[in-house]
Amino acid sequence: MKGLFVDTAGWVACADAAEPAHSKAVAGMDTWLQEGGVLITTDYVADETLTLLRVRFGLGTAEAWWQQVDGSPRLRWEYIGLARADKARGVFFRHRDKEYSFTDCTSFVVMRELKLREVLTTDHHFTQAGFVTLPN
């Protein structure tokens, strides 16, 4: 299985046609799926994405996004849970020179556990953490 992690910024870039990276993000996701890859995200990323879409565009847009991803056979959900949250707290407090969000840290933990290198995002924190970002 070829997995592509999708971060909040990646979901939003795909959902918002006004985002500068919109076309490249959609093309990157489409290409990944056409090549037989699977998308991977977490419950924490979904929390952030739903909230951001609601704040920017309203509840209808957030609901439409959820209906599109919920139950998709091309999307694998990873749940954070206590063990991953504990590891993420370690990352969060260890990197005092970075401005990583806690959700970023949970994503880093999942990506490292699953040995994922690539992430669909416009968030530079993933590059700082050593991952390859799409679109690049």
Q: For position 27, what pLDDT does the model report? A: 95
Gap between the terminal Cα atoms of the chain: 22
Q: For position 123, what pLDDT does the model report? A: 95
Average pLDDT, stretch 98-112? Answer: 97
* Whole-number Å distance between alpha carbons of 112 and 115: 5
Taking 80 as the threshold, does the pLDDT of residue 50 lie above it? Answer: yes
Q: For position 135, what pLDDT does the model report? A: 86
Average pLDDT, stretch 37-64? Answer: 96
Residue 97 CB partners (closer than 8 Å, separation 6+): none
Taking 90 as the threshold, does the pLDDT of residue 1 lie above it? Answer: no
Comparing CA positions, the residue from 53, 54, 45 lying closest to residue 103 is 45
User: What is the per-residue pLDDT across 112-128, written as a single tens digit (0 to 9) for each?
Assistant: 999 999 999 999 999 99
User: What is the per-residue pLDDT across 14-33, written as a single tens digit (0 to 9) for each?
Assistant: 999 999 999 999 999 999 99
- Write the burial class of residue 82 (CB in 10 Å: 0-12 exposed, 13-18 middle, 19+ buried): exposed
